[in-house]
Chains A and B, each alone.
Chain A
Amino acid sequence: QKEVEQNSGPLSVPEGAIASLNCTYSDRGSQSFFWYRQYSGKSPELIMSIYSNGDKEDGRFTAQLNKASQYVSLLIRDSQPSDSATYLCAVNKAGTASKLTFGTGTRLQVTL
């Protein structure tokens, strides 16, 4: 089992719709969770972090965390073509100073 799993996609959503990106992780001791956006040929850019169960909203983005189910998701409301990118989920490695384990990412395509 991979430590952090994401569906590679592509996930295709029409402009204006809600995009839902999912991530599962295997380490029950993980406490910190991150979503990064990566445009083609560019480096990852932090979108959100979440540390507690429940929802965290930032503009059009909402991160959802369920530690019991070992599941973290990212919702993008009112999706725009500029949201088309690969979204990486990252989870801290329990017991390590500051290491993160990254999923391989979900490619999102927002269609006109």
Chain B
Amino acid sequence: DVKVTQSSRYLVKRTGEKVFLECVQDMDHENMFWYRQDPGLGLRLIYFSYDVKMKEKGDIPEGYSVSREKKERFSLILESASTNQTSMYLCASSPGAGGPRRETQYFGPGTRLLVL
């Protein structure tokens, strides 16, 4: 079974703080993703990584950065947290490379972030 873990389930931070969200997958997947999910807006892609040290902006990258130093680990960084970044953050991974299931994404449990 694919296992995707996230460092925190709930997080409360103050405006202006630097926030790190970490995601680890144990299935040697090539691709990793960070989404945020807000009521009525669905899942929105923040950043995507298809290899170590490789990243690509998603639909809403502003205010976020990412780091992927090891294949199994993908970090999301909020440089200066703001109240409009209060959300549920979901990490996912997918196999990538060849094969029919390469795009199938598996999600971590999510981190609910509240910025005060």
Interface string of B22-59 (1 = CB under 8 A from A): 00000000110000000011110100101000000000
- Grouping DSSP codes into helix (H, G, I), strand (E, B) and loop, the B interface class, with mixed when no group exceeds half, is loop
Q: Is the CB of B42 within 8 A of A104?
A: yes
Determine if B96 is an interface residue (Cβ-Cβ < 8 Å).
yes
State the B residues within 8 Å of A (CB). Answer: 30-31, 40-43, 45, 48, 50, 90, 94, 96, 100-110
Q: Is the CB of B107 within 8 A of A102?
A: no
Q: Which 10 A-B pairs have the closest CB atoms?
A: A104-B42, A43-B107, A102-B43, A43-B110, A98-B31, A98-B103, A32-B103, A44-B107, A92-B103, A98-B94
Per the bound structure, the CA–CA distance linking A36 and B37 in Å amounts to 14
- Stretch of A11-19, A45-53, A60-68 that contacts chain B: A45-53
* A-B CB pair tally, cutoff 8 Å: 48
Q: Is the CB of B43 within 8 A of A51?
A: no
Q: Is the CB of B103 within 8 A of A44?
A: no
Taking CB atoms, residues of chain A closer than 8 Å to B90 are 43-44
Taking CB atoms, residues of chain A closer than 8 Å to B110 are 42-43
**A17-54 CB contacts (< 8 Å) to partner B:** 32, 34, 36, 42-46, 49, 51
Q: Is the CB of A42 within 8 A of B109?
A: yes
Per the bound structure, the CA–CA distance linking A99 and B106 in Å amounts to 13
Taking CB atoms, residues of chain A closer than 8 Å to B102 are 98
12 example contacts (A-B, Cβ-Cβ < 8 A) are as follows A34-B104, A34-B105, A42-B109, A42-B110, A43-B108, A43-B110, A44-B90, A98-B30, A98-B31, A99-B45, A99-B48, A100-B103
The residue among A36, A46, A90, A99 with the most chain B CB atoms within 10 A of its own CB is A99
Q: Closest A-chain residue to B4, C-beta based? A: A43
Q: Is the CB of A98 within 8 A of B109?
A: no
Per the bound structure, the CA–CA distance linking A46 and B107 in Å amounts to 9
Per the bound structure, the CA–CA distance linking A46 and B48 in Å amounts to 19
Q: Is the CB of B96 within 8 A of A97?
A: yes
